[in-house]
Every structure is written in C-alpha cells, then in structure tokens.
Structure 1
C-alpha cells in the first residue's frame, strides 16, 4: 500500500517540477564535454544532496534556476522528496544526449522505496539549467510486444519532423500499406514531458493506438512533446498549455493534411487525459477537423483533480493518517488560492507546484463549453476504473453535451486511465505492469473514424 502512495507522489513530482524549475536557455550553445566529465558533474550534484550540502548544490544552478529555487526552497523540496521516497542510497545507469545544443544527462537514482531517472541539462558554462525526475525507463533490452490486434504487415512507419522554427519535434507516421487516401488522426498527450508513445513504465498506449488504427487503414501521427524535447528552454513564468500543447497540435494537424496518403478533409484529433481536456479547444482553433475523440478527458479544472487523486490513494489502506491529512490540507489551500486568484501569475502555487499563471490559464479553458461550439462529431470514451479522471468527469461530458446529437459516449467498466483492463480498484502500481489498450477500444475507434470517412 505504501508503494501506491509513493507512486502517486512520483507522478506529481514528474508533472510539477517540470513546470516550475526550468531555466530559459534560449541563445546559448553548449561546449562539448566528454561523457566522463558529465558523469562526474552529475555525481557531484548528487553527492551534495546526499551530504545535505545544499549551498554547494544550488551553486551548480544557473542564475535563472537559482533565482527560482534558492537554497532554502531547494532544501525544503529535497527533504519532501526523500521523506516520501526514502533516502537516495545509490545510482546506476548513466546516459547522455544533446537537445537544442545542450548536454543532457540521465542517471538512474535508487531511493529506498522507488527508482527514478534524474535528468539534468548543462549549459555552456557547465551550470545546471534544468532538472527533473522521470519514471525509470524500461530495462535495457526491454522489447515491446504488439497486441494481437496489430497487423504489422498492413502498415509501415516513417520518421518525421515538424513544428515551429526553433521548436521542431520528431515523430512518427504510421501509414497503411495500401493505396490511399486514408483518414488520419493526430494523438495529443496527457500531462508531463511525454514521448511519442506516451510511455508509462512498460506501457506504450500511443504506440498501441497508432499500430492498432494503422492496421485498420488509418494514418496516425504521434510525436514527442515539446516539454520532453525542449524542457530546458521553456520559460516557466510564461508557460501555458498554448505553448505546451496547443501550438504543436495545430501544426501537427496541418502537417498531416499535407501527406500524400491522407485525405485532408478526413483528419481527426484524439486527446488523452489533459490532451482530452484540450482537444475541443484545439479543434475550435483549427476549425477544420473531421471529428474529435476524448480519451479520459477531465471536465473539472486540472488543479481540482490533484486533491481528489491524493485522497483516493491515501484512502487505499483504509485510513488517512495525520501526515497525509496535513498534505491534503496544503493542496486544498493551493487550490483555493488558484480559485480565488490570490496569487500573482509569477508566484508558485503552494501545494500544487507550478506558477499560478499556468493554472489560471488552464482554469479558463472549459472543455464542455468548447465542445458545445463544435459542429463536428465527438466520441468521448472513459474507463470505469480510472481514478485520475473519474466517472464524475464522464458525467460532466454527458450532462453538458446532452443536447448534442453528434456526440457518442462509451464507458468501459473494466479499464483504467490507460484503457488497460484490470480488476478491483485501480492503483498506480498497475502502470508498472505491462499491458495494452483493450482491443474493444481500438475496434470502436476505428469503426467510428471509418464510418465518418466514407
């Protein structure tokens, strides 16, 4: 049961640290360091944390990160992480890469209760310009085994790149191996710095969707999210979902329409979780989509989901202890500050993390109101075992769109937030067990898209 609580804390750390603690790196070109030098720099940073030498740890940050996270705040953050996840006891797998000219390191950190990957971004002066924790990647040699509904001889994949100048994103087109044109669909991620497969532990729901739909004669575009590719270049004080999600989604739709095998009049938009909340807004800005698909899209403001999720996890063992109750109260206070707009846009929302401006912007994007403006068909899908986006949200769609004849609703009682089947109460541990999107979901999606494409 403790592991469940740890994994929820991890989820919040991944989402919220990524929002708050990235410096802006525009216009800097990194000098090349050897992997050994980068490894030693990363180890030095971790050793300062292990020995509680926070002053020296903060000295490793560039000016922007140091201003956003001074020593006192960093000490408080690190103590909170280790309180929830246990002490950092060792580290292992080390990798390096470059993003937009900056040197990135990934080091697997072994806490007492869970393993995480620490990602650091180093600028040309050797200072840390961005950092966050990610779920530990599947072990080396892990192989994705396609579900039975995938017909690999029916499609091929093509590496692509698209996006605004300076923000180009890598991705994949899954293309049926028959003569087109075909309908197409763009996949929009949930919260956090997701890759093109929306990888969560060993699960790859967007890969399941892409390969499953391509097997049925539908072109699918999926891509790495801007917050994954350019995490260290994002200015957190001017960070909203318009730049995080919407701009790239609009460019992806345009890119897909230009593909030779795609019928430009039959391009659809599919969003999962936060993406599901935003796709009505994206469709209204685009004005040309043939249909909108919502997978587990919340109708409540995102910051209202966090205390509900925490309370659910804390209650799984049958009680909420005093420490958990205190944490819930802190989060609720943060929610109230956002609801009452009592924070300046560049202030951090206590209990929630992230700058208030991010939450204010998202709060104003009402998905049901946006959906009511659409003239195209909508397909709204929900897992009955989903504790992150719940039946309360699904009912919000049903009640808000009850008068709309072009909307289809589908509930899958046995599926969780990833649309993977299970039994009993859903828990964060499920996300660490390999599975696939249920075949029924792929069948329903393909039938709906193809019925509107004839």
Structure 2
C-alpha cells in the first residue's frame, strides 16, 4: 500500500488484512526513531522486527495493520537525514488518512500503536477524528530534551568500568555537541565529524507531549518496561494524570525498550542479544486483546 505525504512523496508500506470479508477495523503502526523500515528494522544488525508479529497477532483478532517505510528507507524515497521530527508526524497523519479512505477499512474503527518516537506522534494524532483508540509503547511524557537527558544518564550509568572515570569529560563533550546542534539552522549538520539529522533533533528537543496527552479523548493503553533505559517508566504516572478519558497503564517487569524481556541488569549493550529473541508474547497479547475490545465493537450512536 502507498500513502501520499503532504509534499507528494509516496510512503510505501504493507497493509495486512484479516481473513474474511471487510470492511475491517485497522491500526496504524508508528515506529521509534532512526532510519527504520516498515518492520522497525535498520540496514544494520539491530533488527527490531516489530511489524510482522504485531500485524499477524492483530489479523487473528480481525484487525488490519498498516506499516510503512520512513523517508529515505526501504522502498520510500527521500533523505532520512533531512527529515524532521514534525515531518515524521505529518507523514503519519497522511498514512492515517490513506488508511481511513480505503473501502476495505472501517473509517470509524482505526487505532494507533506507537513505539518510542512513534508513541509521541500517536499522542499528537490521537485527537484526530479518524482515531478511536491509542496504544503507547515506551512513550515519554516530558519535554524532549528532558527525555533525552534522562536516557543519556541511564546509558552512561552502564558504561564499562574502564570508561567510567571518563564520565565527567564525556558529559562535557555531550553538552557541547547538544549546544552545537541547537545553534544549527540546516536540516543536516556535521557534529563531531558525523553527519546528523539536525532538524529532527532540534524539533524533538523542544517538543512537549503533555498538551497532546491532555487533549486525548479516546481510550489509551500505555505500556513501558520496568527495565526500559531509554524512556522513564515513571512517565506512565504522568500519562495517567494527564489523559482526561479512559486510560490504562502497565509497567511490565523485565520488559526492555526493544520490547523483549531481560531478567538481568538492563543495558543497551544487551540489545543485539535481545533482538535475536521474538517480541514479548505477553505484550502482543495484551495489546491485541485491548484493541480488539475497543475497535471491533460498534461505536456509540451520538444523539442530537
């Protein structure tokens, strides 16, 4: 399936339909940050492979799933390095519109599933009239710079012992790089000799998802792993406080940011090992069951 972005760029993806006649309820899947394809994989070794198992589980419950390649990734053209945080949100809105316009999809029964950055965009898009339910997987509920600094502290805490004495110097260098990014005005910049998506970073740093959470009127399911070191699990309480309507939160023990469980000490160094395992089956069952209950039933009739 192809959705057309606001600037005319085709966003190429996969629409997984349940068996049987439609129209079907559906979900738009929004992945985390980085040059991710429709299945949340990069060209490198880290393959999250979230799309296929989630789409298969939802199809068994009678729900279709749309997932697409980000700009400059897979079959979608463009330059990922020049794509902003706001661009990603606008592309998601375009994909949502395309999904709702299909005759084999129930336009009154569409949900959003967002992971990490995708969860933050789902907070923004959840107030659109097409959306009936929102699932937030590892979504932060604080300004972007605060979320980034929390993540940096957690990752620094797990540096190898020989590197730890260098932490003060590393913090100074990281703060300098962050300040350098803030002063850029181009889409792409070189920071410490590395080509970076500067506009994405600038927009993410100043984004505050809390007003979007306060504007959500549809049911919300928020899940963060107890061993997530990229998003503070404590943000679940802020999500519950801010969302005015139905909200259900779960802090799942041993669940990590890549949505796999790890009984050991949480560490980004364990990601290659964890991603050789399947996405947590209990998480898939919890998400699909919650969505099936809210998307498959007929919407309430509004009285004049």
Structure 1 residues 306 and 231: CA distance shift in structure 2, 3 A? farther
Go from structure 1 to structure 2 and tell me whether the alpha carbon gap of 1:350 and 1:226 turns closer, same or farther (over 3 Å shift): closer
Sort the Cα spacing of 1:438 and 1:233 in 2 relative to 1 into closer, same or farther, 3 A.
closer
Structure 1 position 355, deviation (Å): 6.5
Matched, 1:387 2:229: yes
TM-fit CA distance, 1:328: 1.8
Does residue 1:184 correspond to 2:26, yes or no?
yes
Counterpart of 2:301?
A: none
Determine the C-alpha separation between the residues in 1 that align with 2:184 and 2:288.
45
TM-score, scaled relative to structure 1: 0.57
Query: Is the CA contact (8 Å cut-off) linking 1:303 and 1:359 kept in structure 2?
Result: no
Q: Which residue of 2 aligns with 1:258?
A: 101
- Bigger Rg over Cα: 1
Matched, 1:415 2:232: no
- In structure 1, how many angstroms separate the alpha carbons of the residues matched to 2:19 and 2:248? 30
Q: How many residues align?
A: 285
1:175 is the counterpart of 2:3 = no
* Separation (CA, whole Å) in 2 of partners of 1:314 and 1:233: 27
Question: Following the alignment from structure 1 to structure 2, what is the Cα–Cα distance between the partners of residues 349 and 324?
Answer: 23
Whether the aligned pair in 2 keeps the contact of 1:307 and 1:332 (CA below 8 Å) is no
CA distance in 2, matches of 1:436, 1:301: 31
**1:233-276 per-position Cα deviation (integer Å, ceiling 9, x unaligned):** 86x3xx42222x12221121122122333211001111110111
* Equivalent in the alignment of 1:424: 264
**Contact 2:144-2:206 within 8 A present in 1 as well:** no
Paired with 1:191 and 1:450, the residues of 2 have a C-alpha distance of 27
How far apart are the structure 1 equivalents of 2:109 and 2:124? 19
Q: Equivalent of 2:125, from 257, 262, 282?
A: 282
Aligned to 1:163: 4
Return 5+ residue gaps in structure 1 as ranges: 1-159
Structure 2: gaps spanning 5 or more residues: 298-304
Is 1:406 equivalent to 2:249 in the alignment? no
Q: How far apart in 1 are the matches of 2:99 and 2:91?
A: 12
Tell me if structure 2 keeps the 8 A contact 1:280–1:370: yes
1:241-252 paired onto structure 2 within 5 Å: 241-243=85-87, 245-252=88-95
C-alpha separation in 2, matches of 1:430 and 1:322: 22
Does the 8 Å CA contact 1:192/1:227 hold for their aligned counterparts? Answer: no
Q: Who is 1:223 aligned against?
A: 68
After TM superposition, give the deviation of residue 356 of structure 1 in Å: 5.8
The 3-state SS of whatever aligns with 1:376 is coil
Report SS of the residue matched to 1:391.
coil
Distance 2:41 2:184 in 1: 34
Q: Relative to structure 2, which stretch is displaced further, 417-426 or 428-437?
A: 428-437
Higher relative contact order (CA 8 A, sep 6+): 2
Tell me which of 269, 286, 292 is aligned to 1:444: 286
Distance 1:308 1:326, change over 3 A: farther
What residue is the counterpart of 1:331 in the other structure? 174
